[in-house]
Amino acid sequence: MSTPQPTPTGKHHAPEPAAAPARAGNGTGAPLVRLVNAGKRYGAVIALQDITMEVGAREVTCVLGDNGAGKSTLIKIIAGLHQPSSGVYEVEGTPVSFSSPREALDHGIATVYQDLAVVPLMPVWRNFFLGNELRKGFRIDIPAMKKMCKDELLAMGIDLRDVDQPIGTLSGGERQCVAISRAVHFGAKVLILDEPTAALGVKQSGVVLKYIIQARERGLGVIFITHNPHHAYPVGDRFLLLNRGSSLGYFEKSQITREELTGLMAGGAELEQLSHELEGEGGTAAEIGRVMEEEVAELGISDHPTTESDNR
């Protein structure tokens, strides 16, 4: 198999990062956002090291990783909440050092966090325009804002009953979509989505994925953080896999199949080991183990040697 082998979880670099493939230019040729060998330390704790990634216009870069893999730290660096302690952060080819999320926002980098940055008790339209209110002199232009909010949401395919209802009364998927369309409306060039599908059901997740595609079609660069390869693969153009704060691999879509991505995410070796252990138990556990083994074989990762010495 010519597939990228998962590197051991140690301080080994994935083969790709050092030589990220040159892409077709988007106007200036520089990607909207690029990190080169970026790292972050909190005192003695290394939260992130040697991360190289980029996203251009009309592209979706997916960041995949399990809990504690360093996804949040990565977002915080790109969103301007933290500065990288090493490496370079470039926006449209220019090195930047943001001291606040507002600065990142001024560069067109908008983040939709898991808590969505909405105020539950406030009406949808007030949330939509919060911080960017339309004004007529000292007054806010309420009819115009309600109409724009309704229209903008409709353009994204969200048909709300009433933009005057508190946003807390919407479903998780609807709220997510309001937050995304808000960022798009206010001129974001790069959209960072922090686990937008994590708390959603299958159908709602599909709706959110549709908006990610729509945002891309409108010319935005999207950084999509998730731990679900099945959500990432259909929408992503490139994939950064994180494990314990370092890069496990950075792939163009053409370089990796869905099965390989899933295998890498699931930690194929660990899964296989687990299946063997379960089969040794006998009874129901053995049954589960056999199913798991089939799964592993199906994903095309069964030939992977089980040399990994996991600490856990």
For other proteins, the closer of residues 50 and 195 by Cβ is: 195
Residues shown for the chain: 312
For other proteins, the closer of residues 116 and 269 by Cβ is: 116
Alpha-carbon distance 160 to 151, whole Å? 10
Alpha-carbon distance 191 to 59, whole Å? 11
Alpha-carbon distance 53 to 88, whole Å? 11
For other proteins, the closer of residues 167 and 242 by Cβ is: 167
Q: Is 8 in the site for other proteins (CB under 8 A)?
A: no
Residues 110-129: x/- map of binding to other proteins (CB under 8 A)? -x-x-xxxxxxxx---x--x
For other proteins, the closer of residues 35 and 192 by Cβ is: 192
DSSP line for 55-101: E-TTEEEEEEE-TTSSHHHHHHHHHTSS--SEEEEEETTEE---SSH
Binding residue for other proteins (CB under 8 A) from 97, 132, 171, 306? 132
- For residue 90, the minimal CB distance to other proteins (Å) is 23
Torsion of CA 79, 62, 72, 219, to 10 degrees: 20
C-beta separation of 48 from 72 below 8 A: no
Q: Is 140 in the site for other proteins (CB under 8 A)?
A: yes
For other proteins, the closer of residues 130 and 274 by Cβ is: 130
66 class by beta-carbon count within 10 Å (0-12 exposed, 13-18 middle, 19+ buried):
middle
Binding residue for other proteins (CB under 8 A) from 46, 53, 105, 292? 105
Q: Is 101 in the site for other proteins (CB under 8 A)?
A: yes
Q: Is 303 in the site for other proteins (CB under 8 A)?
A: no
* Amino acid found at 165: Q
- Which positions touch other proteins (CB under 8 A)? 101-102, 105, 111, 113, 115-122, 126, 129-133, 135, 138-140, 142, 154, 159, 161-162, 165, 210, 213
